[in-house]
Structure 1
């Protein structure tokens, strides 16, 4: 039997002791059951010790690799350094466009797209194309004029579209990203990071329409001018090249300017896992080899495991003034990416609500499961009520009756005693009066 890594085993033991001490203080048998459940999870995530894999040697100036399912950063090289993203900008442009408009929208080309500069499909003012067709031109042929046309259709101007794009980037956690245009032409205020672009690429691949576009190798769009460019071919060689192709490649977007160098957001799927790799500022064929090295590193050295199951009962807790106790279930699934080699000291802690009061509504948040990697928080999953719990009015008034009834009964007894005493005194007074009367008449 393979022995556990001492560091991982020590971390698990410390966490086990802490959890048991906490629950002993609580004195709650039900919570102890959850502790042992979570301890079993901790034992599950401790992996046999092996030599850790060597990090990939990437030629690009900045790089990032994340798991598309968990969002975890698996590798970074200056991953948070602000750099020019070139045409990888168009991934966010396409995502925002599909979220704010319909692919079937008919777009009338204005005067501005023809002055976009850089790569284009030579759109003509007054020409009509659907938003979907413009997105194919944007993502396959990297057409800057299509980017301007899309921006103006969605928000009225390039400047307003940039504001929307920046807001969407912040929502995705891309905190070091600021765009001024929809295509990535150089601007000192137009920048991002390898990590931020990976987050944007991850969200883009969740959009089914956009995913279909970026996996397409070639596409034909209708043009009224017979001389206009109709045939589009994807610049991403990972999808189709016999030399630079990558098995399982699913996208995403390349980019190039003199200032930015060669850039790529590459995605690939294998054995049910999808990875997003980003390389910024590399040269020549290093663009493809860097992307492939990153993807190989992620597939060969990491694996995903589900630790929390949505809807599964994790514990049962008492409800004060409730007719019954309440089952707590996880509000969502949680997957974690673990290294295939080495050991993990992932800590899992249960933080219940101190006191649960009736009534309880199904879905009400009553605690959470917190996961930490050392001191770094990894995730927090809410624990919610699996069902309604109605208020037990007898339970509500029981404390009142327990504390208030004895004094009340004592007061009643005292009042009755005083009344009886008063009646007795009145009788005695009447008897004395009667005795005095008899004495007078005799």
Structure 2
């Protein structure tokens, strides 16, 4: 009789234990594996996870790429984000730089004037020599229109109009250009005019132009303008006896914008004295580059060598697998009564371009409460990869398999594995 009562009592005890175990439990901070310690928070909160980080470096499948052969007088290339030197050939030589000068003209106009400001075009502007955007004396255009005429069309007339709008006169504006060059540390640059017309005292180095372009491209308006392939100014009204207006439609002088889908700018230049020059930029798969070619003997040479530089620059950042799809990142506690861990895996592979100096370090964050039930594929966190403090890519962490609430039988079976006392209680419960 006493044994029967004990059995009944044991049964109630087991039921009580099961009820308690099966009830929703507050998340625990204990880990079921050495991989992670979970600090669960309410849904949508962000919680750090103590998971050992992984570090990934670039892999060059066939060794370091060979640099291109450059025949131009000078060339230089940098990582536009970091300023790291990627290629240098006669980079500090003071050379005539033709219309690449207009990068500085555009910078000063953007710093000094509102895009919507209107400017009346002077006779001085339209009488300049060299390439023109067909401005008409007395017409009124906005600063934005003049910037497009300057950088897309390479209009010398637009450079004069902008200089007069900023400083009142060309000489005063040129003083500003040289002062700004000094501020930017361009030690091998000197300007005599606003557009790059031939003058032995007007020069720049390939290195200086690369860093000038880097500064300019930080302005989103500048970046948008130099990445424009075609542009039109308002038609010139017909003057009798003519009956049709004169259209002013232009293509960008930068052929790389049409040849390379990841080219993004910046400025061409050519004169008999400077030969063929180009400041170009490109962005692909997170890699941003600026390359400069000065003094190419042929027009085709500058496009060929600038393109070769950009492609070489990209090859210095090989596509590297940071993490594969379905990789097990952590096994974490979900307050399961029968001690089943939640296995978190990556939802997709992640590749990124890394330089030979980059180290991508992983960082895991849980994004929601870890409580039962759990569905396979449910997102519970992210894994970020960071280079020099900047996140270069992320993947979601998902449940590898479902974790349902356990049944009473599952709990009893689990208790049986804990020792003879639980086995004895279960045996009495079934008598």
Q: TM-score, normalised by structure 1?
A: 0.57
User: Aligned pair 1:232/2:247, yes or no?
Assistant: no
What's the secondary structure of 2:135's corresponding residue? coil
**Which residue matches 1:284?**
299
Q: Structure 2: which 5+ runs fail to align?
A: 1-52, 239-244, 321-352, 359-387, 389-431
> Residues 201-212 of structure 1: matches in 2 within 5 Å?
201-212=213-224
Question: Could you tell me how far 1:59 is from its partner in structure 2?
Answer: 2.0
SS at match of 1:230: strand
Structure 2 distance, partners of 1:135, 1:166, is 20
SS of the residue corresponding to residue 221 of structure 1 reads strand
Instruction: String of CA shifts for 1:318-354, please: whole Å, max 9, x gaps.
Output: xxxxxxxxxxxxxxxxxxx9753xx89xxxxxxxxxx
* CA distance, structure 2, for counterparts of residue 61 and residue 259 of structure 1: 12
Alignment of 1:167-246 (within 5 A): 167-226=179-238, 227-240=245-258, 245-246=259-260
Structure 1 residues 123, 48: CA separation in 2 closer, same or farther (over 3 Å shift)? closer
Alpha-carbon distance, 1:50 to partner: 7.6
- Asked if the contact 2:121–2:161 (Cα under 8 Å) also holds between the matched residues in 1, the reply is yes
- Relative contact order (alpha carbons < 8 A, sep ≥ 6): 1 or 2 greater? 2
Count of aligned pairs between the two proteins: 269
Query: Which residues in structure 2 correspond to 1:12-411 (within 5 Å)?
Result: 51-226=63-238, 227-240=245-258, 245-282=259-296, 283-302=298-317, 339-340=355-356
Note closer, same or farther for the CA distance 1:178–1:229 as it changes in structure 2 (3 Å cut).
farther
Secondary structure, in 3 states, of the residue corresponding to 1:153?
Answer: helix
- The alpha carbon displacement at 1:263 in A equals 0.5
* Structure number, greater radius of gyration: 1
Distance 1:56 1:91 in 2: 26
The structure that is helix-richer by fraction is 1
Give the CA RMSD over aligned residues.
2.7
Query: Can you list the C-alpha shifts for 1:380-427, whole angstroms capped at 9, x where unaligned?
Result: xxxxxxxxxxxxxxxxxxxxxxxxxxxxxxxxxxxxxxxxxxxxxxxx
Q: CA 1:338–1:110 in 2, change beyond 3 Å: closer, same or farther?
A: same
1:233 Cα deviation after fit: 1.2
Q: Is the 8 A contact 2:58 2:354 kept in 1?
A: no
Secondary structure of 1:185's match?
coil
Q: Map of 1:418-433 to 2, 5 A cutoff?
A: none
Superposed displacement of residue 228, structure 1: 4.4
Aligned 8 A contact 2:281 2:291 in 1: yes
Q: Do 2:236 and 2:248's aligned partners in 1 also have CA atoms closer than 8 Å?
A: no
